[in-house]
A = this chain, B = another copy of it.
Amino acid sequence: MSDMCGPDEAVNLAHRLSLFNELWAQKKIADLNDYEVKLAKLKGEFVWHSHPETDELFLVLDGRLTIQLRGRADVVLGPGELFVVPRGVEHCPLAEEETAILLLEPAGTLNTGDAGGPLTRPAERLT
């Protein structure tokens, strides 16, 4: 079976990750009702922000992700580990090595949440 985008095709995560190299860009790979499943590659430290309206799921596929949480202990995720950042909790992802993640949250959720700034960009469908 090919990995082309289509209604009845398996989505192979490793193959989809091979299709882009940009860091901190969210690439949409599937819809689930009004939620989006996205991939991203991270390296370095992002910006502190929160999503007042929604929880945010992080699943690490490759590498190592530290989710810094304001006033709480860091959560460190390796491959096959997930964490849900609760709505309204200020957080800042940090990846010392290049790290690949799967994200799940409502469609239209911006990567920088309430912080805005130059790193803000909408998710793009990965084709």
A residues whose Cβ falls under 8 Å from a Cβ of B: 1, 7-14, 29-33, 35, 37, 54-57, 61, 69, 72-73, 75-78, 80-84, 86-87, 104-106
Contact B10 A106 (CB under 8 A): no
Which residues on the B side are within 8 Å of A104 (C-beta)?
32, 104
Known: A13-B82, A32-B105. 19 other contacts (CB 8 A): A1-B75, A8-B69, A8-B73, A8-B75, A10-B81, A10-B82, A10-B83, A11-B81, A11-B82, A30-B57, A30-B84, A32-B55, A32-B57, A32-B104, A33-B54, A37-B57, A37-B84, A61-B80, A104-B104
Select A8's contact among B12, B30, B54, B72, beta carbons within 8 Å: B72
